[in-house]
Structures are given as structure tokens and as C-alpha cells.
Structure 1
């Protein structure tokens, strides 16, 4: 077989992007559902967003038993906002009175005395255990995340216990939290409520910590794979492709909600085509290219790095990061969740 014929013989995205034409990796075109040699892909596939160059970025649909729900996401955002409150019990009492706080975790998560914060809670009526992580607080903490993330873009990451490598700032913050009692409490909660769903949520930095927690609780056998649910908002890239694969292999229900032009999901930058082992997202992004009011449409993205979704925009926004579903997430939590919240029910 001539080298030029190798790529067209590949009949699916994974086979295509795992094959070379003798010099370069073959490229898959989503629009034409066909495989092409590297040198021909630009002429064969008109939209650059339809070009797939690595097996991990091939489109995959969510598990049919774990569909995305807008209402569930809004409930998860409320739980995420409560992590910004110094008294999450007061927050939860406003709209989820059956959710009882089990413990709170307040740790130093870098050498500049910035803190990371989370709470665990249980609802026996909903048969649900919740872990919610607070997001980035203050410019200095954000600057540190960006600095360490930039190093991660060029491959400077550290090993993570569940597998793969993660950005060192997230690693330090995670283990400070994990070793402060979170691991112990999860083991205790599992003993009491092992048939309950475990919901792990977070906004911003909290989304990164939630992602890491979801992978570790399953790989360490702390919670049943089938009952773990991960829902994050404005989550940054956390780790390398091996880490992203670990999350996908162990957490079936996983959604990263992104509001319009939110800047944080694009931090740190990803270098495509595997030129270096830079951070990459895990699936599934849910992109709202609108104000996220009740009834707003959204796009469910099938690639971890999908140019049909939020990555299509370069005009990124801090404001879109701070506000989800019409709520200023941090401010709402700090105000103990007083005032209305859009849970997505018709009025």
C-alpha cells in the first residue's frame, strides 16, 4: 500500500489519528467523517474546528444514563455558591433546608497564606452527599494560579495519586485540603451512606479541586463509580492528557459548565497536537453562549478541546467567569445566599 493511501483507509477517528502516513499523523475531519493525510487536511476540511489530530480529541458522546440537566446544573451552582459563605449552613437553609453541613475545611493552599475552603453536607431526603469547593478568592491567588499554570503549559506538572500529572498549584491546594480531614470524612460518610449519590461541585479553582477529588475517590475505592457526579463551573485546565483520561475512565457523570466568554476555562493555554505535554480539559463541556437565563439554549460539546464551543472565542471575559445562571457566584455566597436564585423552574 502506498503511503498516500494509508490515511484514507482508516474508517474512524481513533484509528485515523493513531496512524501515520509515513511522516505525519493522519487527520480526521468531523464534517466529512473521513481520514486524510496531514498535507491534505486543510483543503479537504474547510472548518479548522472539524479537524482532529489526536485520538483523545475524537468526539465522544456522554454516557446515556448520565445526561446533562440544566436544572441539575443550577442546583449544583447553588451548592457551589454556598462554599463562598463562611457559614454554608446558613446559605443552605435559604433554599435547601434538608441539606445538613457535615464539616468545613479551611486550609492554607500556597506559601502566600491564601486559603482554600470547602464543606461536606448530607441530605437524607435526597440521598445525597455533597462536597463543594470554594473558588479563587482575590487577585493574588488568581495571579499565582496563572503563573503556575503557565509553567504547566510547557510541561512543568507534578504526579497525581489517581494518575497523570497536574499543575503544582492545584496539587498543593488539593493535598492540603485532602489531608486536613476531607479524606477521613469521606471514608466515614461512605460507611454511613455508601448507597447515596456523591456530588462533587465547585466554581473556578473549586472546579479544579472538585475534578481531582472525583478522580481520587473512585480510584482509591472511597466511593462507588456509579454514584459519583462531577459538576463544575468555570473550571481551569487541571492536568495533562493522562490525568484527563483518568477522570474520564473513572467518572461517568462529569460536566464542565462554561458561561459565554469566561476566561478561566482557557487558563492555562493548551498547546495543540501534543507538541508538549500541556494541560488539557476532560469532557464534557456544556457551553452557554448567552446570559444563562431560564430556558437559554446550550451546546453539549463532544471533544475535550472543542472549537465549536467556548474555544471558538478569543474575546474572553472576567465578568462571564464571575456570573453563572444570572448569579454573581462569590457575592451570592458571601451574602449567605439571601435573595432569589434561578433554579430553572418556570415562574
Structure 2
């Protein structure tokens, strides 16, 4: 028995030696094939820096350019789904800021920024055992023929800590609509709101406005819930993929790579806006792409490597969880999470979003 074991071990090492010596990764000429490929037992990796495939044990590619999973390969933004700073700044910002208010104050925020948006209803549910709440609202824009589903971000330090506890222990729940798993806190928050009347009221609006599109928005925790809502609505055929837009601010890694892949197969207009060194998009940390349900971002990151004041530049990152964009930052800042488009979101909301 020992002789057989020794033979098998030697065989494995021979395969590895042959693979390294003669190499096959170099035969892959595109990112997707390379990132899913192997040399014997050795994983191949695509280097975005020189657009070539390397053996993972024999590469001098810079870490920010290494792609280890085909889903993370660059994909151009589909035609007709382009992001604009004007839309993020002048439409999405006030819609997201309004989620920080309650009742009539949501309506005030909307009225101060839009002549054409009707506030429908706010939804609030308990999010955890400490009594923290999650909140969202529905509104209708009849000029642009859009139903708006907006989700509030974390409210207060304690709620952020509780989310962080889930991040730390990577507590996940299966999200069947996309496949894969999402963070338990996001899952409970989303379904708590969805089942509190938000989904049934959305149905009524779809019947009343059958030709309207859906715009799902949210900040932080709200961004994760908005991403789940957008995918849910396409999968359930409430809207087609062509009539759904998702825009989030400072969204954490909502789920694992299977969730991210499923999400992107359903939602085409999908943008995660990140302010400079914002800490939250780095959580929960990405570890090994194919192991332990590793957290992974969906597309497309819009990175503002500045204060986001009017006229400042931004970068569209075509990888899903791009090491060359905000992932390249090591000195993250919690303060950048509270300010988007040069506005402190909470203070902007308190002042009626003006």
C-alpha cells in the first residue's frame, strides 16, 4: 500500500514538473479561457497588463493586473447602457439622500429636486435583534416613465457594526433568484422590506404604469438591497433587463461570485459608484475566488479618485472586482463613505436635499 502511495505522489509531482517545464497556459489567447484553464494541476492566470496567459507559479505580472476567474475578465459596457455623471449627480444623489428621511420629509426632498416625481410610500422593517431598522420607498416619475425603488443605507454606528459582524463571520444565505449566496444581513433586510408591502405595491404600480422602467438605487446596505431588488424584478419578469437600471453608492460586496455572475446576467445597466477611498466597498474582504463562498463584486464600478465635485473625472472599471480600481487603495477612509458628489448625504437629506 505504501509503495502505491509513493508511486501516486511521484506521479503527481511528475505531472506538475512537466506542466511547469513545457507550459500550456501560454496557449490560451483570451482572458476567459486562460482564467478557467490549468497546466496539469496548476491554475492559469490572465495578466491584464500584457494581455497574456501565465502559469500561476511562474508569473511576474503585477498583482493589480492578475485575473484568476473568467467572470472577472474585462467586459465592455453594453451599447446604450452608458453611465453619465449628470445622472448620478442630479438624479441618483437626491433619490438616495431622500431615503435618510421619513414620511413627509422624503416627499420634501423629492419636490425640491424634481417637478415630476410622485412619492408613493415608505417601508420600514426591523433588521436585527438590536432594533435597528431598514427602510425604503417607492416613487413614480411619469415624465421619464420610471418607477423608483430606493433603499436606505446603514443608520448609525451600531448597525454598521452588526453588518460588520456578518462580514467577519461571512454569514450567508442562498439567494435563489440569481443563484449563489448573499450576506445574511442584506438578505434579511431586503426580504423584510419586500414582504412588508413593497413588492405588492410595486405590482400595483406595474399594472397602473405598464410601460414604465425600474430604477433601483441605494447607499451602502441600501445599495446591496437595491442590487437584489433589480435582479429579483428581472428574474420574476416584472421588468425586462432592458428596462431596469441599478445605481448604488458605496455598496459592499453583496454576495459571492455566483451571486455576482447571476446578477450581471440579469441586470445590464448596473453601476456601483465609489468615492475615492470609501471603506465599505472593500467589505467583506475578497479572499479566494473559488473557495469558501468568497465575497465578490458585480459590475460595473465607477471610481471617482477625487472629491467628486462637479467636473471631476471618473473611471469606468470593466472588470467585476477590479484590482486596478478602488481595490488598489490600501488607506481606506470611513469619511469617504458619508460623502458623495461632494455632499454629506445625511446632512443633505436633513436640509431637504437642497
Among candidates 232, 239, 243, match of residue 223 of structure 1: 239
**1:298 is the counterpart of 2:297:** no
**1:61 is the counterpart of 2:61:** no
Q: What is the distance in 2 between the residues matched to 1:336 and 1:119?
A: 16
Q: What is the distance in 1 between the residues matched to 2:346 and 2:267?
A: 27
**Paired residues of 1:118 and 1:133 also in contact (CA < 8 A):** yes
Q: What is the distance in 2 between the residues matched to 1:182 and 1:237?
A: 24
2:58 corresponds in structure 1 to 40
Deviation at 1:307, TM superposition (A): 1.6
1:289-321 deviation per Cα after TM superposition (whole angstroms, max 9, x unaligned): 001111111111111221211111111111100
TM-score, normalised via structure 2 length: 0.91
**Paired residues of 2:252 and 2:280 also in contact (CA < 8 A):** yes
Deviation at 1:161, TM superposition (A): 3.1
1:168 corresponds in structure 2 to 184
1:100 corresponds in structure 2 to 118
Q: What is the distance in 2 between the residues matched to 1:137 and 1:240?
A: 24
1:342 corresponds in structure 2 to none
1:214 corresponds in structure 2 to 230
**1:127 is the counterpart of 2:106:** no
**1:262 is the counterpart of 2:271:** no
**Paired residues of 2:257 and 2:289 also in contact (CA < 8 A):** no
2:8 corresponds in structure 1 to none
Q: What is the distance in 2 between the residues matched to 1:130 and 1:274?
A: 35
Deviation at 1:261, TM superposition (A): 0.3
Matches within 5 A, 1:17-32: 17-32=35-50
1:166-207 deviation per Cα after TM superposition (whole angstroms, max 9, x unaligned): 111111111100100111011111112222121000111110
Shift >2 Å, 4+ stretches:
1-5, 272-276
> Number of aligned pairs?
332
Q: What is the distance in 2 between the residues matched to 1:194 and 1:239?
A: 31
Matches within 5 A, 1:231-246: 231-246=247-262
Q: Which runs of 5+ in 2 are unaligned?
A: 1-14
Q: What is the distance in 1 between the residues matched to 2:257 and 2:289?
A: 11
1:182 corresponds in structure 2 to 198
Q: What is the distance in 2 between the residues matched to 1:164 and 1:187?
A: 26
> Relative contact order: is structure 1 or structure 2 higher (C-alpha 8 Å, sep ≥ 6)?
1
